[in-house]
């Protein structure tokens, strides 16, 4: 089975559509949304509708911190433009969509794999995996062989042997990487809707359960259109500008 | 991990275990068979799996990761891997042929044999690096010579795939490699430089040419580093039969600074295939190793410089390609050969590491007897070479970066295509005469090269006058690079 992991869509309709079309061309059998469907982008309603449609056909989705904040209208701890975007998102979503978002689970376990938005040691603390020690904390707190997460908007792959610290591998291109069975793996997806690794292309990941290989994909999309909508919605300008440079 | 011990006659995953053919420190090799596989195959099984030696396990993981991703005649064909949790193994082709290890008994080998072996191994490295894999443990026992003649590289336990995670990175507390053959940068814990394989091949060639290992067999960690300060004894000092060009090639492979070695195995293979064209430097004539004083200087200069994991260099030859320029020296083709030179200059401006091979074909006739002298008694071949060098002179390239070759052949296109293939050429620049109906019907040398060369071909034309509209439109299409 080929599983696509899409994380941090953040209301970016154009990026989501481009990635979904790409998954069809790549013969993906199942979609997993790793949280942060909304926040920042101008199309939260569209994104929530598409994800709900996909879930009716077997897709999985988990909760992200922006989903929780946008659905509950709780924005403490957020920076100014994130808060502005979340308040706008809260008002844009109808009650039904907000209820849907709050109903999303914190994590899902499936065949030795763990799906979680931020990291495994304390999923609801929304900590960021920015370095080896954060990756180690997450890896040691789960028995699952592979953890799939998002949240940091930068694709990374950590691997760890039982008695050793993990090692970071920054994916180069889309070459399928075998997740060798003797060690644990933590696959951090890049962002579909707001990449921050200085590459503006939408990022998502395909994992093949038969070959045990992961492939980090990048997809071009209509950034101009996504940015214009952010301007038109009078959301903070920086949210549009950063799409073009991927940071 | 619970599993049945493997033994002759038992079966695993459909593979029937035959005789044990090798027991090594790291792995055991068994002959195996499976009804659907006709070719002779072997199963490699790690020996110390339950022990504490993590390097063995990780090395085996590495081989299980890399071997399935390799193809071609220069590696063993891959068939299957076993699940790590149950019984790890790799099943691969049994290579019929001889290990280079067996040649050591006959060392010192005649220089021409060393050259031809070196060219084979360098060619195998070209193929491996093209697949983004660095071997990082080139030594006699890891090179097989197939019955068909090609070198095949085996044992990828210390290898590195440049696009995949380096599972051995965590084992960095000690340098990984084989003492006598390991490259200085590997000793400094850099596992990302393709030129490390060139260094180890240099050690291998030195050993076969002299019957002496250039740095002995280092017993301790500390003595490994000696090769960073002290150059080896020049091989001609040990074996005067070694010609100067071969010493040049070997010592260039053994440069401590990777930048001073061949940039790619293709460039090394090129020199080994064209020994008469090797540019001789001080390396070729040296009969003494560097002085103790010089070694001390290097030692002090290196103080404080500690290695460690580094960003891998690209293994492909994008930075140091070999570009072949097919030069037509006919008198009526001066405009075209000027245009060709202009195009070479453009390439040089963008790629400082490029190496240019200028090739001219001296066409032999099928019917008449070929005279080697022209009407005025000059040797035609030598004359052509002089003209070719004259053509290349305005490029202003140093000797290491440009070579000149006159090939005698009945079919120029075939000669050029063969040359490009044998010398691992990355791109061909070739001039095409102005299109004509006749040429379009019969096919030109350039079009045959475009169709059959194993690399990118750029067709160069003399820009046409705007008056000749019909031809200009035609050439527009022909000007595009072929894929």
The pLDDT, as a whole number, for residue B1 is 42
**Is A162 part of the contact surface with chain B (CB cutoff 8 Å)?**
no
The minimum CA-CA distance between B313 and chain A, rounded to whole Å, is 13
Compute φ and ψ for A123, nearest 5 degrees: -55, -35
Q: Which residue pairs from B221-229 have beta carbons closer than 8 angstroms and sit at least 24 positions apart in sequence?
A: B221/B174, B221/B175, B224/B175, B224/B179, B224/B182, B224/B187, B225/B187, B227/B184, B227/B187, B227/B256, B228/B184, B228/B187, B228/B256, B228/B298, B228/B299, B228/B302, B229/B295, B229/B296, B229/B298, B229/B299, B229/B302
Q: At what angle do helices A80-92 and A65-72 cross, to 10 degrees?
A: 60
Chain A contact for B53 (CB, 8 A cutoff): no
A204 CA: distance to closest CA in chain B (Å): 18
CB contact under 8 A, B170 and A161: yes
Condensed to tens digits (0 to 9), the pLDDT of residues A2-55 reads 999 999 999 999 999 999 999 999 999 999 999 999 999 999 999 999 999 999
HEC readout, chain B: CCCCCCCCCCEECCEEEEEEEEECCCEEEEEEEECCEEEEEEEEEECCCCCCCHHHHHHHHHHHHHHHHCCCCCCCCEEEECCCCCCCCEEEECCCEEEHHHHHHHCCCCHHHHHHHHHHHHHHHHHHHHCCEECCCCCHHHEEEECCCCEEECCCCCCEECCCCCHHHHHCCCCCCCCCCCCHHHHCCCCCCCHHHHHHHHHHHHHHHHCCCCCCCCCCHHHHCHHHHCCCCCHHHHCCCCCHHHHHHHHHHCCCCHHHCCCCHHHHHHHHHCHHHCCCCHHHHCCCCCCHHHHHHHHHHHCCCCCCCCCCCCCCCCCCCEEEEECCCCHHHHHHHHHHHHHHHHHHHHCCCCEEEEEEEEECCCCCCCCCECCCCCEHHHHHHHHHHHHHHHHCCCHHHEEEEEEEECCHHHHHHHHHHHCCCCEEEEECCCCCHHHHHHCCHHHHHHHHCCCEEEEECCCCCCCCHHHHHHHHHHCCCEC
| Mean pLDDT value across residues B13-34 | 90
Q: Write the CATH number of the domain with boundaries B322-478.
A: 3.40.50.620
Residue in B61, B164, B169 nearest the CB of A167:
B169
Which of B84, B164, B169 has the CB atom closest to A182's CB atom?
B84
pLDDT: which is higher, B55 or A229:
A229
| Residue of B54, B162, B164 to mutate when probing chain A, most A C-beta within 10 A | B164
- What residue segments make up the domains of chain B, in order of their start? 11-93, 98-302, 322-478
pLDDT > 70? residue B58: yes
- pLDDT class of B255 with cuts at 50, 70, 90: very high
Of B83, B165, B170, the CB nearest to A164: B170
Q: Does residue A63 carry a pLDDT above 60?
A: yes
How many degrees, rounded to 5, is the angle at CA A192 between CA A188 and CA A198? 75
What is the spatial distance between Cα A135 and Cα A140, in angstroms, rounded to a whole number? Answer: 9
pLDDT at B467: 46
Which segment of B185-194, B224-233, B464-473 scores lowest on mean pLDDT?
A: B464-473
Binned at pLDDT 50, 70 and 90, residue B315 comes out as low
Give chain A's domains with CATH numbers: 2-245 (3.60.21.10)
Query: Tokens 């191994």 sit at which residue?
Result: B121
Which of 87-126 (A) contact B at CB < 8 A?
Answer: none
* CB spacing of B167 vs A180 below 8 angstroms: yes
Interface test with B, best of A160, A174, A181 (most B CBs within 10 A): A181
Per-residue confidence (pLDDT) for residue B244, from 0 to 100: 96
Task: Say which of A169, A173, A182 has its CB closest to residue B165.
Answer: A169
Query: Which of A135, A167, A208 is best to mutate for the B interface (most B CBs within 10 A)?
Result: A167
Q: Please tell me which of the candidates A173, A175, A182 has its beta carbon nearest to residue B57.
A: A182
Q: What is the mean pLDDT of chain A?
A: 95
Mean pLDDT of B110-119: 97
pLDDT at B483 over 50: no
First CA to last CA across chain A, in angstroms? 33
Question: Rounded mean pLDDT of B187-210?
Answer: 94
| pTM (two decimals) | 0.83
Q: Which residue has the higher pLDDT, A246 or B295?
A: A246
pLDDT at B439: 61
Q: How far is CA B324 from CA A146, A215, B270, B363, B430, in A?
A: 49, 37, 12, 18, 8
Number of CB pairs, chain A paired with chain B, less than 8 A apart = 40
> With an 8 Å Cβ cutoff, are A177 and B164 in contact?
yes
DSSP letter, residue A125: G
Whether residue B163 and residue A175 make contact (CB cut-off 8 A), yes or no, is yes
The share of chain A scoring above pLDDT 90, in percent, equals 89
CATH superfamily, domain B11-93, is Phosphorylase Kinase; domain 1 (3.30.200.20)
- What is the fold of B98-302? Transferase(Phosphotransferase); domain 1 (1.10.510)
């Amino acid at each position: 089975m080929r599983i696509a992991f899409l994380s941090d869509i953040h209301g970016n309709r154009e990026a989501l559509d481009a990635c979904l079309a790409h998954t069809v061309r790549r013969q993906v059998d199942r979609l997993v949304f790793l949280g942060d469907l909304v926040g920042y982008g101008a199309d939260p309603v569209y994104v929530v509708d598409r994800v709900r449609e996909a879930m009716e056909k077997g897709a999985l989705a988990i909760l992200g911190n922006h989903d929780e904040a946008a659905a509950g209208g709780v924005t403490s701890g957020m920076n100014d433009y994130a808060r502005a975007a979340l308040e706008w998102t809260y008002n844009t979503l109808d009650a039904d969509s907000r209820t849907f978002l709050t109903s999303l689970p914190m994590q899902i376990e499936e065949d030795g794999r763990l799906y979680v938005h931020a990291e495994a040691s304390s999923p609801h603390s929304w900590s960021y995996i920015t370095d080896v020690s954060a990756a180690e904390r997450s890896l040691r707190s789960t028995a699952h062989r592979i953890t799939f997460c998002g949240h940091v908007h930068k694709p990374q792959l950590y691997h760890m042997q039982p008695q050793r610290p993990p090692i970071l591998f920054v994916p180069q291109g889309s070459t399928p990487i075998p997740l060798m069975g003797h060690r644990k793996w933590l696959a951090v997806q890049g962002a579909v809707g707001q990449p921050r690794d200085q590459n503006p292309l939408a990022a998502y990941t395909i994992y093949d359960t038969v070959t045990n290989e992961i492939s980090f994909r990048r997809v071009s999309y209509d950034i101009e259109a996504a940015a214009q909508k952010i301007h038109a919605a009078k959301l903070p300008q920086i949210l549009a500008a950063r799409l073009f440079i991927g940071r | 991990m619970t599993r049945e011990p493997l033994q002759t006659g038992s079966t695993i995953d459909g593979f029937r275990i035959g005789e044990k053919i090798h027991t090594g420190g790291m792995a055991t090799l068994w002959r195996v068979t499976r009804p659907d596989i006709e070719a002779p195959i072997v199963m490699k099984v790690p020996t110390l799996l339950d022990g504490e030696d993590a390097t063995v396990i990780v090395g085996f993981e590495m081989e299980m990761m890399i071997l399935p991703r390799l193809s071609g005649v220069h590696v063993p064909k891959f068939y299957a891997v076993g699940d790590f949790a149950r019984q790890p193994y790799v099943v691969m082709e049994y290579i019929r042929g001889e290990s280079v290890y067996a040649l050591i008994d006959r060392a010192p080998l005649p220089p021409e044999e060393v050259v031809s072996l070196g060219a084979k191994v360098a060619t195998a490295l070209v193929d491996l690096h093209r697949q983004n894999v660095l071997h990082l443990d080139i030594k006699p026992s890891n090179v097989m010579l197939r019955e068909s003649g090609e070198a095949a590289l085996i044992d990828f336990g210390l290898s590195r795939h440049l696009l995949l995670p380096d599972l051995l990175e965590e084992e960095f507390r000690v340098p990984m490699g084989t003492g006598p053959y390991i490259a200085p940068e590997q000793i400094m814990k850099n596992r990302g430089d393709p030129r490390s394989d060139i260094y180890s091949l240099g050690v291998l060639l030195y050993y076969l040419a002299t019957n002496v290992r250039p740095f002995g067999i280092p017993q301790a960690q500390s003595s490994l580093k000696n090769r960073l300060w002290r150059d080896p004894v020049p091989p001609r000092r040990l074996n005067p039969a070694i010609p100067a060009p071969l010493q040049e090639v070997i010592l260039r492979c053994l440069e401590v600074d990777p930048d001073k070695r061949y940039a790619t195995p293709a460039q090394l293979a090129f020199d080994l295939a064209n020994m008469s064209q090797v540019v001789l430097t001080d390396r070729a004539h040296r009969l003494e190793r560097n002085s103790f004083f010089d070694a001390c200087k290097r030692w002090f200069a290196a103080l404080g410089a500690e290695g460690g994991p580094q960003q891998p260099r690209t293994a492909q030859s994008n930075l140091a390609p070999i570009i072949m320029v097919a030069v037509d020296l006919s008198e009526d083709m001066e405009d075209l050969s000027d245009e060709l030179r202009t195009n070479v200059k453009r390439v040089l401006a963008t790629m400082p590491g490029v190496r240019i091979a200028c090739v001219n074909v001296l066409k032999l006739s099928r019917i008449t007897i070929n005279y080697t002298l022209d009407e005025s008694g000059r040797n035609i071949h030598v004359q052509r070479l002089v003209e070719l060098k004259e053509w290349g002179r305005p490029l202003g390239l140093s000797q290491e970066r440009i070579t000149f070759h006159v090939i005698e052949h009945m079919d120029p296109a075939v000669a050029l295509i063969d040359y490009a293939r044998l010398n691992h050429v990355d791109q061909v620049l070739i001039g095409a005469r102005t299109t004509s109906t006749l040429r379009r019907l019969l096919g030109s040398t350039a079009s045959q090269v475009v169709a059959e060369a194993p690399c990118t071909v750029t067709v160069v034309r003399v820009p046409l006058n705007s008056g000749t509209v019909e031809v200009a439109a035609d050439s527009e299409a022909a000007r595009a690079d072929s894929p």
